Amino acid sequence: MGHKIIPMQASGHRVALITGAARRVGRAIALTLADAGFDVAFTYLSSSPEAQSLLEELRAKGRSALAIRADLTDPVAAVQTIRAQFVQPFDRLDVLVNNASLYEPSGLGDTDVAQMRRLWAIHVESPLLLCRAFFPFLKSSRGHVVNMVDLLAQRPAPPYLAYAASKAGLWNLTLGLAAEMAPEVTVNGIAPGVVEWPEDFPEPRKAEYLRRVPLGRAGTPQDVAAAVLFFCTDATYVTGQILRLDGGRSIA
């Protein structure tokens, strides 16, 4: 059951819905949008303590907030749950951020059909079904969709073939949705390089990666959150674009 904190019903604030926001990049996006005046609904799956602490942080900022537990590898059931819980406190949606992701090794010798379907479900099917479910809200508010893609969608690494292919599907879906949801709704994507190192990532591999980054550093979750805010506020004449947020890695 989702935790709810709803300080002010029908506050008139803009509302954002972010999938997979209890931790890491999604959490930074939620807090950044809250600082910009958005009330925030977000999904999580297994990170219950982090979801509760995020609710408390959002509440401390004076924002209405809603946490929804949903498994986006089961897209039909998850989207039904998200929509049913979302409409209880909120009657509008201005921003949808499809951030939830599974980053799993999925090379030629490692992956199986079940994993491929799980990756496709969370990276392609869920964003599509969420856009369909919330299109009337987004259309009414002349809102914005931001999809979190990945540089691997264009530069796949052999150990992550199925993951990269599913993110390439989301890249293509972003372009199609931009055409389909215009003119009322903008749809853009962000393709980060490294913006937060995996836990226990070896230091020599970090150094090797950064040698190929012209700006000479890894990105941060805050870098991604700032780009999301740009697409949701200032970029009103931008749609169907994928921002490579990679410190120049894609040109090196």
H/E element, 118:
helix 113-120
Higher pLDDT, 13 or 228: 228
Domain-wise residue ranges, the chain: 4-251
pLDDT (tens digit per residue) in 42-62 = 999 999 999 999 999 999 999
CATH 1.10.10.10 matches 4-251: no
pLDDT (tens digit per residue) in 112-129 = 999 999 999 999 999 999
For the range 155-159, what are the long-range contacts, defined as Cβ-Cβ under 8 Å and sequence gap of 24 or more? 155/250, 158/107, 158/108, 159/105, 159/106, 159/107, 159/110
Q: Across residues 85-111, what is the average pLDDT?
A: 96
H/E element, 33:
helix 24-35
State yes or no: pLDDT of 7 exceeds 70: no
State yes or no: pLDDT of 15 exceeds 80: yes
Which tokens sit at 118?
Answer: 């799980």
What are the residue numbers of the active site?
163, 167
Residue 1's pLDDT is 37
Q: What proportion of the chain, given as a percentage, has pLDDT over 70?
A: 95
**Model confidence at 4, in pLDDT bands (50, 70, 90)?**
very low
Which tokens sit at 250?
Answer: 């894609």
Query: DSSP of 61-76, one letter per residue?
Result: TT--EEEEE--TTSHH
Q: Across residues 68-93, what is the average pLDDT?
A: 98
